[in-house]
Structure 1
Amino acid sequence: MPTEDTAPPVTAFMLIKTMPEWLAMTPEERVNALETQVMPAVKARTSGVRSRFYDTEFYSTRVTDVWVWEADDHDAYQLLIDALRETPFWDRYFEVVDLLVGTENGYARTYGTAPVATIST
């Protein structure tokens, strides 16, 4: 849990849908595209961001993947989005269906209470 003097990390749930250009690639070409076209731009323009990737196409047709980004602060998050928009990721390989951005347990900090959760953080 962040101390009183630090801002909580920003977490973004990026709901995305694969586009035909992405689906036309082989799995090897997809990995190569992420490694050579997307991630270098993110690493060059940002610091303090981490990500996890979830496949959801087994259960949803509107959103095929969820890319969860955690940024140290709002500036790092903004730089991340700017970097992604300048790569083929944005609107060529994937449609960004929605962005759900928040901070974990924000209500607890606002009201000075302990977080209500099944897992202690």
Structure 2
Amino acid sequence: MTPVSDPAITVFMLVKTSPEWLGFPVERRFALFTEQFKPILKKHESVVSLRFFDVEFYSTRVTDIWMWDAKDHESYQLLVEDLRETPFWDRYFDIVEILPGVENAYARNYNRVPINA
């Protein structure tokens, strides 16, 4: 998935795998991603991009973080509407928390150069 350049919003979606998901063989999990998840990513690829982070090694509350970059709020909202129509939303994965943010907003709001390492 091609990154969205200069996204208006980045959303960190904290999710936890369900026992149902973990009960599937690995091959089936990848097939489900291909069948149900990838078409949604393809549909929104010009306005929303996704990065996956595995955190189950370090956290018990969440197992993964899905980081969405969106061109605008509406693009993100339409993506979520599509995801909610699939078992990936609160069946295969529990949506634990959604944390929206704007990268370097503090600097933009004060017309300053962002502080980055």
Alignment match, 2:48: 49
Alpha-carbon distance between aligned partners in 2 of 1:8 and 1:18, rounded to the nearest angstrom: 27
Deviations 1:35-54 (A, max 9, x none): 10122134336741111101
Deviations 1:47-86 (A, max 9, x none): 4111110111001110100011101111111011111111
Q: Percent identity?
A: 54
Alignment match, 2:27: 28
CA offset at residue 112 of structure 1?
0.6
Alpha-carbon distance between aligned partners in 1 of 2:71 and 2:29, rounded to the nearest angstrom: 28
Change (3 A) 1:69 1:16: same
Instruction: Please tell me whether the aligned partners of residues 41 and 87 of structure 1 are also in contact (alpha carbons under 8 angstroms).
Output: no
Unmatched 5+ residue regions in structure 1?
Answer: 1-6
Instruction: Please tell me whether the aligned partners of residues 47 and 70 of structure 2 are also in contact (alpha carbons under 8 angstroms).
Output: yes
Instruction: Please tell me whether the aligned partners of residues 12 and 68 of structure 1 are also in contact (alpha carbons under 8 angstroms).
Output: yes
Alignment match, 2:101: 102
Instruction: Please tell me whether the aligned partners of residues 41 and 49 of structure 2 are also in contact (alpha carbons under 8 angstroms).
Output: no
Change (3 A) 1:38 1:88: same
Alignment match, 1:88: 87
Q: CA RMSD in A?
A: 1.5
Alpha-carbon distance between aligned partners in 1 of 2:53 and 2:32, rounded to the nearest angstrom: 18
Unmatched 5+ residue regions in structure 2?
Answer: 1-5
CA offset at residue 116 of structure 1?
1.1
Alpha-carbon distance between aligned partners in 2 of 1:42 and 1:83, rounded to the nearest angstrom: 10
Moved over 6 A (4+): none
Alignment match, 2:3: none
